Amino acid sequence: MTSENTGSTDIGSSSAGSAKAGTPAGAGRDSAAPAKPVKETEVERARAELVAALTELEDKVNVPKKVRRMREQEPRKFFAAVGTAGTVAAGLLTLGVLSLIRRR
């Protein structure tokens, strides 16, 4: 067990020692760290705005999604619209059939 611990300590100390010897403790990381999160935050904010804009556009253009949402959120309006559309379609079909009969 002692040889295993010594081996892992030597490996850890040699890699840590070489990193510490070249630069002061954390000097390179601290100076670059504030700039990176700012850029990531700007990018994340821009992505969120783009996603929101695309979602809004999809909601406006996607008719099946609008119909599904209307059926779930406002079932009375949905069934009223479906009934009205059915009545109008039946009326137009009746007018078409009557105009064909009168032509003969």
In angstroms, the first-to-last Cα distance of the chain is 106
Model pLDDT for residues 83-96, shown as the tens digit of each residue: 999 999 999 999 99
User: Taking the model in full, what pTM does it have?
Assistant: 0.42
Q: What is the reported pLDDT for 85?
A: 96
* Angstrom distance (rounded) from CA 47 to CA 51: 6
